[in-house]
Structure 1
Amino acid sequence: MPVRTAVPADLDALVALELRAFTGDRLSRAQYRRHLVSPHAAVLVADAADEGLLGSALVFFRKGSTLARLYSIATAPAARGRGIGADLLAAAEQAARRRGSRALRLEVRVDNAAAIGLYERAGYRRIGLYAGYYQDGADAWRYEKPLAVP
């Protein structure tokens, strides 16, 4: 699936995808609007010409840090199981490498077996637990992967 950097014209589709993909802990329209133009964020989208946006990823970069954070990967429910999450994850890693990041960190719900499997297959290792991390009180695992910088 082709992955590209999102542009402000993608805002409506990003918000609609967020509503379809998640039941809570959603990014707002204002947050997406800010991240689309931020020098400290990369918003990536899996865009199928005939189906629209099927997935998105949001990566944060902190000034002066070589650690990037994958904040979110969203896949449209109808498109799950097609490798879109893996494509977005690879694109997020590449974006982090281009920015000079030496590692990528993320948090994932402890009950999200599909996402945990994706991250572990991609070489992420569990480095911690955050109790009550999500809006509904669910715990999160923290994962990290070292990145080879070109």
Structure 2
Amino acid sequence: MCALEQASFPGDLMSRRALARAIASPSVRVLVTPGAGPGGLGAAAIVFYRQGTGVARLYSIATAAAVRGLGHGDALLAAAEADAVGRGCVRMRLEVRADNAVAADWYRRRGFRPLGLRAAYYEDGMDALRFEKRLG
């Protein structure tokens, strides 16, 4: 998964240790699809949950270049939303780099609405666009 993240994102990557903790945590769901990417993965999604809230946070969806456009991202997003609903969540939130119009448009087409901006959110100083979707 670390290699898939490195191939998918320019920075702000989870360390191997942080990823291992996330995988083991009951408040995190890691979903994957098989494919031709690093480690035999097609795509991976990480969702964070905080007890006592009805909001799931989609931390990331990383898709291997070899399988882009084949529905892996859609499948993972649908699975992440279903998992969130199963945990009692009524909304899902996420952040997208302000310079990543492709991802922002992809989330908009899947029902996410702009929620605001986080200035200088990423390690390189790039702003984040915040999105939210009502679930269920």
TM-score (norm 2): 0.93
2:107 is paired with a residue whose SS is helix
1:24-63 pair list within 5 angstroms: 24-48=11-35, 52-63=40-51
The amino acid across from 2:4 in the alignment is: L
Partner of 2:119: 131
1:111 to 80, 99, 103: 99
Deviation per CA, 1:122-144: give whole Å up to 9, x if none: 11100100111111111111000
Partner of 1:73: 61
* Alpha-carbon distance between aligned partners in 2 of 1:110 and 1:23, rounded to the nearest angstrom: 13
* Alpha-carbon distance between aligned partners in 2 of 1:81 and 1:138, rounded to the nearest angstrom: 26
1:22 to 2, 5, 9: 9
Q: Note the residue ranges of structure 1 that are not aligned, 5 or more in a row.
A: 1-13
* Alpha-carbon distance between aligned partners in 1 of 2:57 and 2:3, rounded to the nearest angstrom: 23
Identity %: 52
Partner of 2:89: 101
* Alpha-carbon distance between aligned partners in 2 of 1:77 and 1:138, rounded to the nearest angstrom: 23
Partner of 2:73: 85
Matched positions, count: 134
* Alpha-carbon distance between aligned partners in 2 of 1:64 and 1:130, rounded to the nearest angstrom: 24
1:120 is paired with a residue whose SS is helix
1:79 CA drift (Å): 2.1
Q: Note the residue ranges of structure 2 that are not aligned, 5 or more in a row.
A: none
RMSD, aligned α-carbons = 1.3
* Alpha-carbon distance between aligned partners in 2 of 1:84 and 1:137, rounded to the nearest angstrom: 29
* Alpha-carbon distance between aligned partners in 2 of 1:117 and 1:91, rounded to the nearest angstrom: 20
